[in-house]
Amino acid sequence: HPYIYKITFATASESSALVIRPFSEKGTLKDLIYKAKPKDPFLKKYCNPKKIQGLELQQIKTFGRQILEVLKFLHEKGFPYGHLHSANVMLEGDTCKLLDLENSLLGLPSFYRSYFSQFRKIN
């Protein structure tokens, strides 16, 4: 799918998994929001709330549509994706691509599991 970030190499064993993707100079959607460089240390990139800058309306429309299209595609294929957040959306030009699709296959809990688990009636 055009909105899924490619994997260069992947392997798994009974106790671990390894996924390698190409490095992106542009970084993730989170990097764009924080005006950060992908190679900077985490604390330097994301712990200064003064650097946070919103997106333009056209960017929100474009990225939102692309994310919804890939989520619809995954849903139609019966593939769960519970790790949607700005750090799992890679940017390539004006295109965004989802990362970490393998998390559900590896049995990792959803990013939002702690929020959902508060509600007993949600299946």
In a domain, 112, yes or no: yes
In a domain, 27, yes or no: yes
In a domain, 106, yes or no: yes
In a domain, 55, yes or no: yes
In a domain, 2, yes or no: no
Range of the domain at 40: 9-117
pLDDT (tens digit per residue) in 47-89? 877 778 889 999 999 999 999 999 999 999 998 888 899 999 9
In a domain, 60, yes or no: yes
Statement: the pTM of the whole predicted model exceeds 0.85? no
CATH no. for residue 71?
A: 1.10.510
The number of domains in the chain is 1
pLDDT (tens digit per residue) in 1-54? 999 999 999 998 888 889 999 999 899 999 999 988 999 998 888 887 777 888
Three-class HEC string of the chain:
CCCECCCCEEEECCCCEEEECCCCCCCEHHHHHHCCCCCCCHHHHHCCHHHCCCCCHHHHHHHHHHHHHHHHHHHHCCCCCCCCCHHHEEEECCEEEECCHHHCCCCCCCCCHHHHCCCCCCC
